[in-house]
Amino acid sequence: MSLIATDQLKVVIGLGVTGVSCARLLAKNAENFIVVDTREKPPKLEQFRREYPNVKVILGPLDAQLLATANELILSPGIAKNDPAI
């Protein structure tokens, strides 16, 4: 396992308990990532923004073009794998 950060973009989809946990691990490993959530007010949003003010958070419908730029998608359990944007 490499602990060297890269510029490859990872996208965490879902900002619930699982998504925040994944984001914490990515931040700890100095990974390049953003977080997206289909909800306008996900339950962990304010807590996440306080802990990680420099991480980009995008809310609303999934953007297929944005997701296509990612090297890795990390889906929370509540996200449908068959969503057209994925």
| Nearest of 2, 1, 6 to residue 70 by alpha carbon | 6
Three-state SS at 18? helix
What residues does each domain of the chain span?
Answer: 19-63+70-75
- Give me the residue label for tokens 């944007």: 85
| pTM for the whole structure | 0.87
**pLDDT by residue (tens digit) across 4-55?**
556 799 999 999 999 999 999 999 999 999 999 999 999 889 999 999 999 9
CA distance 78 to 63: 17
